[in-house]
Amino acid sequence: MRRFMALVILYCVLISQSMAAQNETVKNSKYNVNIASEYIFESYPNQELIPIRLLGSVKNAGLYHIPANMKLTTLLALAGGTSGDADLGKIIIGNDLHMIKDEKGLDTKSLTIDLEDTLKNGANTDYTLVANDIVLIQNKSPIVSNDAFRTISVVSVILTSILTAIVIKDRYKK
């Protein structure tokens, strides 16, 4: 019986360690910056290209060299679109060289755009990208966070192991 309990405890520790390693991998890939990617889109020779960093929940995140005055929706199309867990209502745009103008013409450090609203209202409300913009497409908030899911999984494995040990102990007594 002691050997069985030791094996159950070892199993629980191994499961919790593998879940912790998996959670760390998810944290590292949250904004899809673990793969170095650079893309150049040129319509005609010697066209002025501006650098844009596209991060987050898109198919192909990376550094994009695109024609000046390109719209945000066009950039997202060039990037292969957004992934299924993208929060299109909260796209954050910042710039490390200068302030950004919001829809009222005021300077701000970052701008949050509701792309769903832009798509409903038409192209005239689409954001025009400028040199050195950083575009972050965030993930939708899950109903259950990764930490809560990991905790629930570990607790369920431990409870299942304990209940299994109790049932086996009862069977040996009979």
Greatest Cα pair distance in the chain = 86
Residue at 159 is within a domain: yes
**Beta-strand pair 86-95/38-40:** unpaired
Domain region containing 24: 2-28+144-173
Torsion of CA 17, 18, 22, 28, to 10 degrees: 50
Number of domains in the chain: 2
User: What's the CATH code of the domain at 118?
Assistant: 3.10.560.10
pLDDT tens track of the chain, all 174 residues?
666 666 666 676 666 666 555 554 444 455 555 566 888 888 888 888 999 999 998 999 999 999 998 999 999 999 999 988 888 889 999 998 888 777 777 778 888 888 888 888 776 778 889 999 999 998 887 777 777 778 888 888 888 888 888 888 888 776
End-to-end alpha carbon distance in the chain = 15
Contact of 140 with 85, CB cutoff 8 Å: yes
- How many other C-beta atoms are found inside a 10 Å radius of the C-beta of residue 6? 10
